[in-house]
Structure 1
Amino acid sequence: MKRKINYYLLILPFLVLFASCSRDAFNEFYGRPDYLEDPIYQQLEARGNFKNLTALIDKAGYKDILGKAGYWTMFAPNDAAFAQYFQDNGISDVSKIDAETASKIVKYALVYNKFRTDQLSDYQSSKGWVENSAFRRRTAFYDGFVTKTINGVPRVIVGSNRNGSTYYVSGDNNNKYVTYFADDYFTNQGLSAFDYNFFYPNTQYDGLNLFDGKVVESDIIAENGVIHEMDKVSLPKLNIDQYLEQNPKYSLFRSILEDHLVSYIFNQNATTAYRNYTGQSDDVYVKVYDPTLAYAPNNENYVKAEDNDGQSDAYTMIVPENDTLQKFINTKLLKHFTSVSQLPVYVWQDLVNAHMVQGAVWPSKKGNYINYLKEDLRFDFNTDITDKKVLSNGFFYGSNKVQHSDYFFSVYTTAYLDPAYSFVTRIFNDGSGFRDLISNIHQKFTIFIPSDAVLKSLGFDYNFLRQEWVYINPDNNVADAASAARNRLVRILYNGIVYTPNDELKDIATTSGVIRTGDFILPGEYIKYDHNRIQAAGNIEKGTYANIVGSEVQENGTAYYIDNIPKYAENLQGKAIAALAPNSTSQFYNFYQYLLNSTIYTAATGKIEGVELGTSCTIIVPNNAAIVNAVKAGELPGNVTTGVPTFNPTLQGDKDRVADFIRYHIIMNSTVSNDGLITGLRETLRKDEFGDKTFISITSSGGSLSFKDGTTINSVGGINPAANFIPASSNNLADRSLIHLVDNYLKFPR
């Protein structure tokens, strides 16, 4: 009988041998390479001079994290750094550091992602790495939920992690940043050791410093990141909100924020996260800053236009000390208010924004920055700055001076800080552009402002419930729509803003004349002034004045209080010409009679065809003698021998001549006076036989004004002399227009 062979026993050694070979191949392929450096924890442990740090890593529960794979940069304080830390804080050894402090030290030393020294200055933008544009990095540390007593009630709160109305995003822990100072960044930004030593005068700048610490050895490569050995222990820096809270020198500025510009808003997502993490049942409130501020001082992120923009920039706040700020409040803000509780919130918003910069203001470059009100920073960093700190979300400067803001020292200020002129201020602030115009202390203005009481007496009001303007005509009780009511008031107030670079109205109490309102970019209408009284075209229509009843001198001009409004005209320009020609003794009479009987005029409304209500124009009226000469020259219908006009011709050709004559004496889209503001060629209402525009030339200087047509020596009839304005009968106001009497007519060349 043959013995049966167990073939499985025969192949088993081969299977074992094969399995052994496969495992070796697997380990060789997938195993940890021999050349790979140890992880951060093992590196620190092996080096022998990080015993205190590794003890804190153990206590903080980060040994496992730092002893395995990952991607970190660690600014690791060595044992010498801890020896100094123990001495500074009265600690005998590392065992006396509690777990919470250990966690702070370890997490704040850890930066997300791996950065060698030649990468620290590079900004990780969404479009790729931007070289030498970064000086900060996000750490693993964040404050999280804290319990504080707010208005006598204990509350769990969390800080804003965004600016503006989107003040909190779930899942963003609001991690704090570290700031380092590196040669590559400094060179690229034009900075120097001065900028470092301004913050840290007792530490030498070494080309790479983390706060006031030095890098002893850099670029220690680990499996899970890179280590930079530091000679200083860094605890998490306070943010601007926290620094204000802890420093009594700025308690008044902080009280402005807390009392007027901070709210605590319940957040369900934050509440759910807190309850899941702690097992507690408390609600969580987000500490929210007014969305009009440049940024939320408790937001550790930057503006978040990109995820990593906090690497390349930070916030700056310059805060006046208590005594300095109190004096400013007493002498400036409370001039017309009895207590700070009466001040409108926009005053606090502007005051705080005047001290905020949405960028990191380096001391040597402070002239390159503007505050959130778009003003230059008016501080001398050598004498005005008494405190300087690099915080977790930006730079903080304490000051013995309040920002000399335009809003508090310009003609705008007069209404802005006076509750009796809140209507005017509301228009200035509501997007009209008036605030930016007249608050510029580098340009001089004179303004005329009516009080709320004056405006109410004239039919204006503001509906706070509906947040809209109201106007009811006191003559007929007809109400405007809200937008029309606002537009009416905007135009009236613009009639009271006058650009006066040479203090042109300084003698308004003893002189008279006309002057253009507005500025060069958007010229306004002309108004008349006469011995402390002003008139716009509408006042002249009704025979009224606005009397000056008081004034306040500011740095960029004078604000005058008035008892009426500089009212614009409700009638068309033709009505104004008619009022200037009541009978044949008026020097406007002949021109008006031609206009009255022309085919382009409607007497009932005063409408001149082609000239719309609200259109700027200049109407040049030849006096009676000039009209007679125009008749003799055949420019107008009438007796060419005697010059007697035919005001109402019957022939169509004569009617066309009259219409063209009038059109050629109307300058379109420009209001011309003898102030020299407008000269050169300007378009008229007349079109030539081809439908093209026609022009006349304007000369205005030294108080004189003349108009010249297009005639030349080769024209039929030769050169026509210029028409010079007659001062005593010119500068007559009409709807966005001026009407001048001149001593000659204008002749269109044929």
Structure 2
Amino acid sequence: MSLCLAALVGGFTACHDDYDLDDPGNYPSWLGQSIYDELKNPNPEHLTGTFTNYLRLIDDLGYTETLEKTGSKTVFPANDEAFARFFANNDWGVKKYEDLSEAQKKLLLYNSMLDNAILVEMMSNVPDQNTSVTAGVAMKHQTGVNVIDTITHFYGASELPRNNEYWTKFYKSGVDLVMDATRPMMVHFTAEQLTANNITTMGANSDFAVVTGTEYNDSINTAYIFRNRIISPDITCKNGYIHQMENLIVPPGNLAEMLRTNGETNIFSRMLDRFSAPFYSAPLTNTYNDWAIVNGVALKDSIFEKRYFSNRSQGGLILKVDPNNKTLSTDELLPFDPGWNQYYPDRVTSSLSDVAAMFVPTDSAMKQYFLPGGSGSFLIDQFGKKPNTVANLMENIDSIPKNIVQAFVSMLMKPQFVATVPSKFDNVMDDSQDPLGITLNDLNRTKDGKYDVKIANNGVAYMTNKVFAPNRYVAVSAPALLTDNMRVMNWGIQDQSVLGLNYYAYLLAMDANYAFFIPTDEAFDFYYVDPVYLRRSPRVLHFYYRSDKSPYMFCSQFDYNPSTGTIGRDSVQLSSSAYRSQFIDILNTHTVILKAGEKLGSNHYYKTKNGGAIYVSGGEKGCVVASGAQIDGININGSEMRPENLKYTPKITKVYNQKNGTSYAIDRVIQMPMKSVYATLASESNFSEFYNLCSEDRVQLGLFAGISNKTSNTQPIAPIRQFTTFIDAGGFHGLDQDVSYFSGYNYTVYAPDNKAIKIAHEEKGLPTWDDVKAVAQPWLNATTGEYEPDETEACKLAQAKVYAMIETISDFIRYHFQDNSVYADNHVEGGTYYTANTDTLGIAAKLTVRDGSNGEFKVHDESGQSVTVSANNGTKVNLMTRDYVFNNTAVNATQLLSSSFAVVHEISTALNTHASGRYDDLWSSAKAKRKLIGHQKAGLKRLARMYRK
């Protein structure tokens, strides 16, 4: 093969030709000798010094003939002076060439060689699908290293990872191992690549200077391999290129190996190795043995590769199945495999375009963090098995559960180096997606005063002089992460695959103030009543966690009798799809967002993330926490529990003061309301008249008044819906009937007591349904039960009057349904709220809440009335309700889609929007016929506008 001419003129980054130029007469005059001959007889105009040591590498490894003849190779040799500097100071312990082992020779030669011909100015180019190239993209190239040359025999606990069951079986026998089965990469920095990625190069603290330890030299064709400058680029030979290096290229290994062997990050490396395992490699074993047979070397039974469980490993694939074919949980996976030689981030232009980055605390920083007095000493106090001393530190860190170590390590692993250079430190995020806060002052310094930054073949490691701990250690979710009896909730918080929430990220908002209730694993042993199944085959769910068996989180269902509270014996194991929506609801139910500086306990009622509410008796250990399904055990004034219900009500068992709020361990799962507004109004005798007013079937009367109950393509919701309070479960998928005005929000329902409704009817002109029917009675067909209007003037007037009466009743009802749940509590946040009552322009009537404290508040309506809601006078207030929306009819539903929460308050005076204080302004017989008919027409037009697409 010959050097590809296209590479010389800038067409491609590399090439292989299919024709020979072995005949000297075929050589162009501008071609030099072969690579080998150029190094043997260096032209001082091109190369500096002699290359005796590099040539010895070539000769000793049998590569002379290859580099003497034609081909497509690129080599990055160093001269004898560079070798002398290496022998004077290196980590391998070699003092002269003769000290080098064959394996070390191979690493030095093959890591300085590419298997294609490439100019320096083309190193950052990558070809695209159109056979052209994109400049400034590539940051690395695959070296000439053969993976079988890196096989090493490791033996004993001193050489293999500790506290890792996958490795212990090899302590006695040892293991033949490669650190990764993919070929190592050569990381390089070119002017095009630096410019394209906004990596600064000017000055002592430029990105380039900090990372490489050298100020950038911008002379023509200058490039750097790792942190090593090319001093003589593009020496053109008949079989490739020579790029002379300033110093010898010493392969750094991948990130995992570099951290294991550099001597200053032993603690972090030990934590990282908790996620590694040896995987048998049949291809590597077979390849080695084929080579061994030819070369007369002893065969090997099994060769393994060291890999790290991660969300991104070889080929960009997840590695979550261990060598024993066990599937690991998500909190046992690193963000990426730090040992993958050819690592590249997801969604990049090319697999050559970037490497990883890590912010790694030095051993000194780790000791300061974990030892007594350090902010991480609580981890040793909680999990360590020995006194917290320097001598015991490694073993104590080994005792920290793996999922907690994963949170620590993962936050310091970043997928893209180009996004983490020092000029972009402000954009480096922590695990809550807030700025990590790292500065140059946080980087460790080497003995020569340079920033301690190490470049591996798959990433860059910034050595830090302090520990940046994850917010997961201090957020309200931390107790679930750090406590071994909250594994069920921790699974829900951390899970990203089953629930699809990333709830951990939500709870990591450091500017929030949460009250987060965490049922212990034992709390789930008392079961969770599944609201989705209450209308089919009622069941309870038992969530539990098993660390010894995948998928770790399990859920069983048991038959349940709601009337007696008894639970069946036989259980059925459920798949995650059968409980996903229910567990999401549990997470939302147990999360309260407080105001800045607010503490739980100043009030009794708090809204939850899903729009519901909970009752708490206080914010300390022993206090009660409950919601609607458990609230029946609480007296009206909310101060005492009925003894027979006390054992079923959650209580706070421990309080954790965290950075973004307070966490509360509780001994039962909070159960949201399982009664709808419909069921609540129907079950309270004080609300019977209001319930009857709301629940009347208005279809036939509506049809008589000209209100359609039909839908069409242009009118997907029947106009009669505007006048309907409750929608049957058969269509709306609730437990019984849902409020038609609700749309997945939280609301307040002011329910006038029977006396208030009577006054509204008898004294203020609110029509009853009997009144409405009486107007339409002359046109009722007794046989069919349907109204049959005619074209007479009397009928038209009756129709208009019925329409006005229906609208009057509907507006009356709607005015008692308010957006936002407001509870009668110690402190009531006042405000003006919209109601479900709208005028002809669709503008909602309002209510104003104020003067709230000590368990009561006042509601001011648009007629000027002030109506008191009080928890202190024996009325029914603060009744929690929930209108459910399932994925099917109530008897076929399996999932909770959404819901609307409402609090119901009994009031002794009905609310009114009319300044007159009466309700008959629109329909009284004293009003003119023309006004009635005009109002009806205007109303029908309004309905048409509301329901037209």
For the aligned pair, the TM-score class normalised by the smaller chain equals 0.7 to 0.9
Distance 1:381 1:576, change over 3 A: farther
Whether the aligned pair in 1 keeps the contact of 2:519 and 2:668 (CA below 8 Å) is yes
Tell me which residue corresponds to 1:366: 425
Q: Supply the distance in 1 between the matched residues of 2:572 and 2:633 (Cα, whole angstroms).
A: 20
Tell me which residue corresponds to 1:349: 406
Tell me which residue corresponds to 2:880: 733
Q: 1:284-334 CA distances to partner (integer Å, 9 max, x unpaired)?
A: 222121122122222110237699945321112222224145437962335
Q: Secondary structure at the match of 1:436?
A: helix
Does residue 454 in structure 1 map to residue 449 in structure 2?
Answer: no
Does residue 721 in structure 1 map to residue 866 in structure 2?
Answer: no
Tell me which residue corresponds to 1:636: 767
Tell me which residue corresponds to 2:176: 156
Distance 1:239 1:488, change over 3 A: closer
RMSD in angstroms over aligned alpha carbons? 4.3
Distance 1:615 1:415, change over 3 A: same
Distance 1:303 1:117, change over 3 A: closer
2:378 paired residue among 315, 332, 337: 332
Q: Supply the distance in 2 between the matched residues of 1:516 and 1:314 (Cα, whole angstroms).
A: 45
Distance 1:176 1:702, change over 3 A: farther
Distance 1:357 1:615, change over 3 A: closer
Tell me which residue corresponds to 1:715: none
Q: Supply the distance in 2 between the matched residues of 1:700 and 1:216 (Cα, whole angstroms).
A: 78
Q: Secondary structure at the match of 2:487?
A: helix
Identity %: 18
Q: Secondary structure at the match of 1:457?
A: coil
Matches within 5 A, 1:265-664: 265-279=279-293, 280-291=299-310, 292-303=333-344, 309-320=350-361, 321=363, 322-324=366-368, 326-327=370-371, 331-334=377-380, 336-337=382-383, 339=385, 343-360=400-417, 361-370=420-429, 376-386=435-445, 387-431=452-496, 432=499, 433=501, 434-458=503-527, 460-462=542-544, 464=546, 467-472=553-558, 473=560, 475-478=565-568, 482=574, 487-504=581-598, 506=599, 508-509=600-601, 511-518=602-609, 523-532=610-619, 533-543=624-634, 545-578=649-682, 581-583=684-686, 588=687, 590-595=689-694, 607-608=736-737, 616=745, 618-621=747-750, 623-624=752-753, 627=757, 628-629=759-760, 632=763, 634-637=765-768, 660-661=810-811, 664=814
Q: Supply the distance in 1 between the matched residues of 2:572 and 2:810 (Cα, whole angstroms).
A: 38
Unpaired segments ≥5 residues, structure 2 = 1-20, 44-48, 156-169, 294-298, 311-332, 386-396, 446-451, 529-541, 635-644, 699-724, 772-784, 788-801, 872-876, 883-900, 915-921, 923-934, 940-949
How far has the Cα of 1:667 moved from its partner? Answer: 5.3
Tell me which residue corresponds to 1:177: 186
How far has the Cα of 1:370 moved from its partner? Answer: 3.6
Q: TM-score, normalised by structure 1?
A: 0.77
Q: Supply the distance in 2 between the matched residues of 1:694 and 1:332 (Cα, whole angstroms).
A: 57
Q: Supply the distance in 2 between the matched residues of 1:112 and 1:677 (Cα, whole angstroms).
A: 75
Distance 1:699 1:208, change over 3 A: farther
How far has the Cα of 1:129 moved from its partner? Answer: 3.1
Whether the aligned pair in 1 keeps the contact of 2:82 and 2:247 (CA below 8 Å) is yes
Q: Supply the distance in 2 between the matched residues of 1:64 and 1:304 (Cα, whole angstroms).
A: 38
Matches within 5 A, 1:93-242: 99-124=102-127, 129-144=133-148, 145-149=151-155, 150-161=170-181, 173-180=182-189, 182=191, 185-186=194-195, 188-193=197-202, 194-201=206-213, 205=217, 208-242=223-257
Q: Supply the distance in 1 between the matched residues of 2:94 and 2:382 (Cα, whole angstroms).
A: 56
Distance 1:725 1:318, change over 3 A: farther
**Amino acid of the structure 1 residue aligned with 2:377:** T
Q: Supply the distance in 2 between the matched residues of 1:44 and 1:27 (Cα, whole angstroms).
A: 19
Distance 1:307 1:316, change over 3 A: closer
Q: Supply the distance in 2 between the matched residues of 1:67 and 1:741 (Cα, whole angstroms).
A: 98
Q: Supply the distance in 1 between the matched residues of 2:816 and 2:580 (Cα, whole angstroms).
A: 31
Distance 1:556 1:111, change over 3 A: same
How far has the Cα of 1:491 moved from its partner? Answer: 2.4
Q: 1:194-237 CA distances to partner (integer Å, 9 max, x unpaired)?
A: 22332444676456333443332222222333322222111212
How far has the Cα of 1:92 moved from its partner? Answer: 8.2
Q: Supply the distance in 1 between the matched residues of 2:556 and 2:224 (Cα, whole angstroms).
A: 62
Q: Which moved more, 1:611-620 or 1:621-630?
A: 611-620
Q: Supply the distance in 2 between the matched residues of 1:559 and 1:295 (Cα, whole angstroms).
A: 31
How far has the Cα of 1:456 moved from its partner? Answer: 1.4
Q: Secondary structure at the match of 2:58?
A: helix
Tell me which residue corresponds to 1:6: none
Q: Supply the distance in 2 between the matched residues of 1:723 and 1:385 (Cα, whole angstroms).
A: 70
**Amino acid of the structure 1 residue aligned with 2:36:** Y
Distance 1:609 1:51, change over 3 A: closer
Q: 1:513-535 CA distances to partner (integer Å, 9 max, x unpaired)?
A: 432211xxxx4312233434433
Tell me which residue corresponds to 2:83: 82
Q: Which moved more, 1:75-84 or 1:458-467?
A: 458-467
Q: TM-score, normalised by structure 2?
A: 0.63
Tell me which residue corresponds to 1:249: 264
Whether the aligned pair in 1 keeps the contact of 2:124 and 2:138 (CA below 8 Å) is yes
Unpaired segments ≥5 residues, structure 1 = 1-25, 162-172, 641-649, 709-719
**Amino acid of the structure 2 residue aligned with 1:491:** D
Tell me which residue corresponds to 1:19: none
How far has the Cα of 1:560 moved from its partner? Answer: 1.9
Q: 1:704-733 CA distances to partner (integer Å, 9 max, x unpaired)?
A: 88687xxxxxxxxxxx53776644265532
Q: 1:409-455 CA distances to partner (integer Å, 9 max, x unpaired)?
A: 10100222111222222222234433221122232211122222233
2:822 paired residue among 647, 670, 673: 673
Distance 1:721 1:98, change over 3 A: same
Whether the aligned pair in 1 keeps the contact of 2:833 and 2:846 (CA below 8 Å) is yes
